[in-house]
Structure 1
Amino acid sequence: MVKLNLVRSSNAELVTQPLVAVFVGGTSNIGAHTIQCLARTHGKTGKGLRAYIVGRNTKAAETVIAECQNSCPTGQFLFLRADDLALMKDVDTTCAELIKTEEKEASAKGQIPRIDILVMSQAIFKPWDPRKETSEGLDTFMSLLFYSRARFTTRLLPLLLSSTLPAHVISVFGPGRDASFFPDDLSLRSSDNYGFMSSGSHAAYLKTFYWEYLAAKYQGKLSLCHYFPGLVLSDGFDDPTLPWWFRTIFKYGTPIIKLAPSTLPGEESGERTLFNASKRFPPRSVDGKASIASAGGMGIAESSDGIMGGGAYRVNYNGGQVAIGKQYKKMREDGWLDKAVQHTHKAWEDIEKTGHFSG
C-alpha cells in the first residue's frame, strides 16, 4: 500500500509545472473528486492549470467548476457537454470539439496544445439490467467501460503525445474483474453469456490488452492505468431509479460498509485517483530500462505484461498492483492481445462505415 502522505507529496509535484487535464465523467463522484483534488493541490501557487470536464449534466458541472474555481482561482475550468458517451459518434464529436477548444486556448496563451492527464470514469451502474444495445450495436455498459474510453484515448492522441510530462491516461473501473471469458462472443450478444459480472470481465480483459498495445506503440510517451477505486459512497446510491432493496442496503448498511479497507472517503478517492499520474507509473522506456530511482520511495510499478515500468498498469485502490491472473499466460500464447486489438478496431471501423457493429 502506498501511504497517503506519499500520495499527497507526489500529487504536489504534478503542479510544479503547467498542466492540461481532461476529466470524462467529471461531473460526479470519483471524476468530480479527482478534479477537485487537482484544483486544491494547485491552489494559488501552482504553475498553471487548464481543465476540461466532459459530461451530460450542465448543472452538476457548474457546481464542480465553482468549487474548483474557489480552490484554484487562477485555474481555467471548461465544460464540454456530451449527449451519450456510449456512442462512438458522440465520442468523436466531443473529441473534435475538445481538440479545437484546446488549440484555441493554447494558442491564445502562446502554448503548445496538449493533454497531460486524461481521467475517464463514465459509466452506468445497474447490475440487474439485461443487455442494452446502443444504436451502434455495442452493449451500453461495455461501451462506457471500454470502447468509449479506448476511443477517447486514441482520438485524443495528437494532444496526449504533445505532453511533456509525459501523458497519463487513467481509466477508473476494475482491472481485477477479469474472470469469465467467452472467446467466441466478445460482445456478449448471447443472453446465456451476458450479465453484470461477465460484461465487466470482458471490459477488463479488453482494456488490459489494449492498454498494453498502446503502451508498446507509444514508448516514452504514454502511461496508461486501469484503476480500481474501491467503494466511494455517494448520493448516487440513493438514486430513486435504483431498486428499493438496494437503496435500503446502503442506507442502513453504510456504517458497516465504511469499515471496509477498500471503502474510501471522497476526498481520499480523488487523491488516490490522481496519484495514477505519478512517477510510479511511467511510460514504457524506449531502451527497456525503467528509471527505478525516479519514483523515489514509491518504487516503479510493474506493467500487466510483467515489465517493470512497462507503461500499462493495473492499479488497486491503495496504489498497489492488481495481480494478473494465471489465465493470461495461455491467452497470450493464443494471441489474444492482437485479437483484442483487432476486435476493437473492427468495431470502430464498422461503426464509421455503416453506423453499426454486429461482431
Structure 2
Amino acid sequence: MVKLTIARSANSSVVQSQPLVAVFSGGTNGIGLTTLKALAASHSTTGKGLRVYIIGRNQKATEKIIADCLSLCPQGDFRFVRTSDLALLKEVDRVCEEITKAERACAANGDKPRVDMLFMSQGELSLEPYTRNAEGLEFRVSLLYYSRMKIILNLLPLLLESNLPAHVVSVFAAGKEGELPLDDLSMRDPKHRGLVSTRSTVTYMTTFFFEWLASQHAGKLSLVHVFPGLILTDSVRSMPLWARTLWWILRPALSLFCTSVEECGERILFLANPARFPAGSTQGETGVSTPGSNSTPVQGLAPAMGTDLKRGSGAYGVNLDGETMSESQIHKSYDRHRANDVGGKVVAHTVKAFEEIKAGRAFKD
C-alpha cells in the first residue's frame, strides 16, 4: 500500500508544479466530488493556476460545490458544464465541444488550450431494469464504458497538448474480471446482464481500450482504471428503498472496513501522478517502458506495472491503495484473451458503436 502521507505529498508536488486544467465527469457527488475537493485543496493559495470543468446536471448543486472549492482554492477557475444525460453519446459530443470551445477561448489570453487531468466516475451498477436508450446502448453500460471512452477520444486533442503528460482516471472495477462474452460484448443476451457479468465485461473492455490508447499515444497519455472498494459516499441515494434501509442499518459496522471519503479523494488524485503512473514511452532492451522526462520520483516508489506487465507502460489497473493488479491476476484474466486478439476485437466493437451512433443510427451489434 502507498502510504497516505506519501500520496498527499506527491499530490501537492504535482498540483503546485505548474498551471493545470482538469475535467471532472461525475464530479458533483461521491468519489468524483471528493477528488475534486482534494485537487482544490492541494492547489490551495500557493499553486500556479487551476482551471476545472465540472460536468453535471444540477446547476444549483454545482454552484454550491464551486463555492466550496473556491474556499479551498480562491484563485481557481471552476466552471459548470451542464449535461442532460451522459449515457447518450450525442450529448457527450455536445459537452466535449463546449469544453473544447472554452479552452480555445483561453488562447486569447495567452493560455495554452489543453486538458492535463480527466477524472471519470459517472454511472454505477444500479438495480434498475435493463434499459437500452435511443442510441441502442444499455444506459448503465454506456455511462460506465462507452461514454467514458468517447469523452477521452473527444478531448484527445486537448489531452495531447498537456505537458504533464495528460492523465485519465476512470473509477469503476479494475481487477474484477471474470467471464467475457466475446460474441456478445453489447450484452444483449439476458444471461450476460447480471451485475457481476456486466462488471466483468466493462472491466475487460476498459483495460483493452486503455492499452490501445496508451500504445497509440506513447509518452503523451497515461490511463488508470481503479477499483475504489467500499467508500461511504452519498451514492446510496439512488438505490431502492429496501437497499437504502439496509445500507443505513449496516453503515456503522461497514465504517470499520471502509476508506473515508477524504482519504479516497487524495488517493484518486494520486493516480494522476506522472512518476508513479507515467505515460508509456520508448521500449528499452528490457522491454520496460521508460517514464517521460517530466516525472519527479515519488518517495520509495517505482513506476507502476501496467496491465501489459511492463512497468510504466501507460495503462494501469489499480486498487485504491495505489497498488496495481498482481502479475498472477493479470495472467489469469488476460493471457487467453490476448492470445486471441480480444483487445483488437474490443477496439473494433467500440469504434463501430461510435461510428454508427455518429451517423444517426442505433447501435445493434
TM-score bracket relative to the smaller structure: over 0.9
How far apart, CA to CA, are the structure 2 residues paired with 1:183 and 1:218? 26
Deviation of the 1:297 alpha carbon: 1.3
For residue 283 of structure 1, the aligned residue among 274, 279, 284 is: 279
- Partner residue of 1:82? 83
Change in CA separation of 1:293 and 1:60 when aligned onto 2, cut-off 3 Å: closer
Deviation of the 1:125 alpha carbon: 4.1
Deviation of the 1:130 alpha carbon: 3.1
- Are the aligned partners of 1:6 and 1:298 in contact in 2 as well (CA < 8 Å)? no
- Partner residue of 2:109? 109
How far apart, CA to CA, are the structure 2 residues paired with 1:311 and 1:304? 9
- Are the aligned partners of 1:86 and 1:140 in contact in 2 as well (CA < 8 Å)? yes
How far apart, CA to CA, are the structure 1 residues paired with 2:202 and 2:244? 26
2:65 is the alignment partner of 1:64: yes
- Are the aligned partners of 1:232 and 1:269 in contact in 2 as well (CA < 8 Å)? yes
RMSD, matched Cα: 1.4
How far apart, CA to CA, are the structure 2 residues paired with 1:124 and 1:285? 33
Which amino acid is the alignment partner of residue 333 of structure 2?
A: Q
- Are the aligned partners of 1:130 and 1:195 in contact in 2 as well (CA < 8 Å)? no
- Partner residue of 1:315? 318
For residue 274 of structure 1, the aligned residue among 264, 269, 292 is: 269
Deviation track 1:6-47 (CA, whole Å, cap 9, x = no partner) reads 000110011221000000111111111111111111111011
For residue 303 of structure 1, the aligned residue among 285, 303, 306 is: 306
How far apart, CA to CA, are the structure 1 residues paired with 2:364 and 2:91? 19
Deviation track 1:27-77 (CA, whole Å, cap 9, x = no partner) reads 111111111111111111011100110011212211110000011101100
2:193 is the alignment partner of 1:197: no
- Are the aligned partners of 2:135 and 2:361 in contact in 1 as well (CA < 8 Å)? yes
Question: What is the DSSP-based 3-state SS (H/G/I as helix, E as strand, rest coil) of the residue aligned with 1:354?
Answer: coil
How far apart, CA to CA, are the structure 1 residues paired with 2:79 and 2:360? 33
- Partner residue of 1:156? 155
How far apart, CA to CA, are the structure 2 residues paired with 1:59 and 1:179? 40
Which amino acid is the alignment partner of residue 345 of structure 1?
A: V
Unmatched runs of 5 consecutive residues or more in structure 1: none
Deviation of the 1:247 alpha carbon: 1.3
How far apart, CA to CA, are the structure 1 residues paired with 2:80 and 2:189? 38
For residue 345 of structure 1, the aligned residue among 340, 351, 356 is: 351
Question: What is the DSSP-based 3-state SS (H/G/I as helix, E as strand, rest coil) of the residue aligned with 1:314?
Answer: strand
Q: Aligned residues, how many? A: 353
Deviation of the 1:325 alpha carbon: 4.9
- Partner residue of 1:330? 336
**Percentage of pairs with the same residue:** 45
Change in CA separation of 1:293 and 1:121 when aligned onto 2, cut-off 3 Å: closer
Question: What is the DSSP-based 3-state SS (H/G/I as helix, E as strand, rest coil) of the residue aligned with 1:298?
Answer: coil
- Partner residue of 1:248? 245
How far apart, CA to CA, are the structure 2 residues paired with 1:74 and 1:293? 25
- Partner residue of 1:121? 121
Aligned ranges 1:188-227 → 2 under 5 Å:
188-227=187-226
How far apart, CA to CA, are the structure 2 residues paired with 1:286 and 1:111? 30
Deviation of the 1:235 alpha carbon: 2.8
Deviation of the 1:317 alpha carbon: 1.0
Deviation of the 1:285 alpha carbon: 1.1
Unmatched runs of 5 consecutive residues or more in structure 2: none
- Are the aligned partners of 2:209 and 2:347 in contact in 1 as well (CA < 8 Å)? yes
